[in-house]
Chain A
Amino acid sequence: MARRRVVITGLGPVTGFGIGIKPLWDAMVEGRSAIKRIERFNPCGFPCKVAAVLSEDQLIIRKLVPKSDRKATKVMCRDTELAVAAAGAAVRDAGLITKAIDPQAAPTIAPDRMGCHIGAGLIAADVDELTAALWTSRAADGRFDLRHWGASGMENLTPLWLLKYLPNMLACHVTIIHDCQGPSNTITCCEASSGLSIGESMRVIQRGAADACLSGGAESKVNPMAFLRQHFAGRLATTRDDEDPTAVVRPFDPNARGSVIGEGGGIIVLEALDSAEARDADPYAELVGFASTQSQCPDATGLEAEPDGGGIADAIEIALAQAGASPDEIDALAPFGSSIAAIDQAESAAIKRVFGSRAADLPMVTTVPNVGNCNAGAGGVAVAVAAKAMKTQTLPARLNTTGADGLNADAAPSCSADLRHVLVFTTSQGGQNVALVLRRMD
Chain B
Amino acid sequence: MIDQNNNPRVVITGMGWITPLGHDLQSVWSKLTAGASGIRSITSFDASTFPTSFAAQVCDYDFTTYLKDPSLHEHATVNTQFALGAARQAWDQAHLSDGNGLDLRRVGIYLGAGEGVLDFDAYAKVDLAGWDPQVGAVDARKWAHAAYEAMDSHDEIGQEPNMPISHIAREFGIRGPACNCLTACAASTQAIGEAVDMLHRGDADVMISGGTHTMIHVLGVTGFSRLTTLSTRTDDPPGASRPFNRTRDGFVMGEGAGVVVLETLDHALARGATPVAEIIGYGSSADAFRITDMHPQGRGPAAAIRQALRQAGIDPLATDSDGRPSIHYISAHGTGTMENDSIETLAIKSVFGDNAPRIPISSIKSMMGHLIAAAGVVELITCVLALEHQIVPPTINLHAPDPELDLDYVPNDARSLKLDVCLSNSFGFGGQNDTLIVKRYEA
Residues of B near A181 (CB, < 8 A) are 285-288, 299-300, 303
A141, chain B: closest CB distance, angstroms: 11
**A111-B288, A150-B48 known; A189-B180 Cβ under 8 A:** yes
Cβ of B266 under 8 Å from chain A: no
Cβ of B25 under 8 Å from chain A: no
Contact in complex: B430, A169 (CB < 8 Å): yes
B428, chain A: closest CB distance, angstroms: 7
Max count, chain B CB within 10 A of own CB: residue among A160, A183, A228, A295: A183
Cβ of A60 under 8 Å from chain B: no
Contact in complex: B291, A294 (CB < 8 Å): no
Cβ of B156 under 8 Å from chain A: yes
A168 to B73, CA, bound (A): 28
**A160-B227, A303-B157, A430-B160 known; A168-B289 Cβ under 8 A:** no
Complex interface residues of chain A between 135 and 170 (CB less than 8 A to chain B): 135, 138, 142-144, 146-151, 154-155, 157-163, 166-169
Cβ of A263 under 8 Å from chain B: no
Residues of B near A1 (CB, < 8 A) are 6
| A330-350 Cβ-contact flags toward B at 8 Å (1 or 0) | 000000000000000000000
Contact in complex: A183, B170 (CB < 8 Å): no
Contact in complex: B47, A150 (CB < 8 Å): yes
A129 to B30, CA, bound (A): 46
A57, chain B: closest CB distance, angstroms: 21
Residues of A near B48 (CB, < 8 A) are 147, 150
A159 to B227, CA, bound (A): 5
Contact in complex: A167, B177 (CB < 8 Å): no
Cβ of A410 under 8 Å from chain B: no
A95, chain B: closest CB distance, angstroms: 21
Complex interface residues of chain A between 166 and 215 (CB less than 8 A to chain B): 166-169, 171-173, 175-176, 178-190, 196, 200, 203-204, 206-207, 209
Complex interface residues of chain A between 259 and 278 (CB less than 8 A to chain B): none
Which residue of chain B is the closest to A189 with respect to CB atoms? B162
Interface of B is mostly: mixed
Residues of B near A232 (CB, < 8 A) are 151, 153, 156-157
Contact in complex: A292, B131 (CB < 8 Å): no
Residues of A near B108 (CB, < 8 A) are 292, 294
A128 to B171, CA, bound (A): 39
Q: Which of A41, A111, A154, A182 touches B226 (beta carbons < 8 Å)?
A: A154
Cβ of B222 under 8 Å from chain A: yes
| B129-169 Cβ-contact flags toward A at 8 Å (1 or 0) | 01101001111111111011001011011111111011101
Cβ of A293 under 8 Å from chain B: yes
Looking at B10-18, B197-205, B323-331, B333-341, the stretch in contact with chain A turns out to be B197-205
Cβ of A394 under 8 Å from chain B: no
Q: Which of A75, A144, A187 touches B180 (beta carbons < 8 Å)?
A: A187
When A and B form their complex, what is the total count of cross-chain residue pairs whose Cβ atoms lie within 8 Å?
A: 300
Cβ of B383 under 8 Å from chain A: no
Q: Which of B51, B128, B165, B218 touches A138 (beta carbons < 8 Å)?
A: B128
Cβ of A301 under 8 Å from chain B: yes
Cβ of A372 under 8 Å from chain B: no
**A1-B6, A122-B161, A206-B201 known; A183-B167 Cβ under 8 A:** no
A146 to B123, CA, bound (A): 13
A432 to B131, CA, bound (A): 37
Contact in complex: B290, A134 (CB < 8 Å): no
A245 to B99, CA, bound (A): 52
A207, chain B: closest CB distance, angstroms: 6
Contact in complex: B157, A229 (CB < 8 Å): yes
Residues of B near A79 (CB, < 8 A) are none
A72 to B45, CA, bound (A): 33
A98 to B151, CA, bound (A): 45
A27 to B286, CA, bound (A): 36
Complex interface residues of chain A between 218 and 235 (CB less than 8 A to chain B): 224, 228-229, 232-233
A190 to B163, CA, bound (A): 10
Contact in complex: A224, B165 (CB < 8 Å): no
User: Which bucket holds chain B's interface residue count?
Assistant: 35 or more
Contact in complex: B284, A166 (CB < 8 Å): no
Complex interface residues of chain B between 173 and 190 (CB less than 8 A to chain A): 173-184, 190
Cβ of B194 under 8 Å from chain A: yes
A206 to B289, CA, bound (A): 26
**A185-B181, A188-B180, A292-B179 known; A300-B170 Cβ under 8 A:** yes
A421, chain B: closest CB distance, angstroms: 21
Residues of B near A402 (CB, < 8 A) are none
Which residue of chain B is the closest to A187 with respect to CB atoms? B181
Contact in complex: B170, A297 (CB < 8 Å): yes
Which residue of chain A is the closest to B143 with respect to CB atoms? A224
Contact in complex: A127, B138 (CB < 8 Å): yes
Residues of A near B153 (CB, < 8 A) are 232-233
Q: Which of B73, B174, B307 touches A294 (beta carbons < 8 Å)?
A: B174
Cβ of B224 under 8 Å from chain A: yes
Complex interface residues of chain B between 420 and 434 (CB less than 8 A to chain A): 428-432
Contact in complex: B72, A300 (CB < 8 Å): yes
Contact in complex: B143, A168 (CB < 8 Å): no
A230, chain B: closest CB distance, angstroms: 9
**A293-B175, A300-B171, A431-B169 known; A224-B228 Cβ under 8 A:** no
A402, chain B: closest CB distance, angstroms: 32
Contact in complex: A200, B194 (CB < 8 Å): yes
Contact in complex: B291, A183 (CB < 8 Å): no
Residues of A near B296 (CB, < 8 A) are none
A142 to B286, CA, bound (A): 46
Residues of B near A168 (CB, < 8 A) are 182-184, 428-430, 432
Contacts A184-B183, A203-B197, A293-B177 aside, 14 further interface pairs with beta carbons under 8 A come to A45-B148, A125-B219, A131-B128, A144-B124, A160-B291, A162-B226, A175-B286, A176-B291, A178-B288, A186-B181, A189-B162, A224-B140, A232-B157, A294-B165
Q: Which 3 residue pairs spanning A and B have beta carbons closest together?
A: A45-B144, A162-B223, A172-B430
Interchain Cβ contacts under 8 Å between A and B, 18 examples: A44-B140, A72-B291, A125-B219, A134-B127, A149-B222, A150-B53, A163-B430, A166-B429, A171-B430, A180-B286, A184-B284, A188-B162, A188-B180, A189-B178, A207-B201, A224-B138, A232-B157, A314-B175
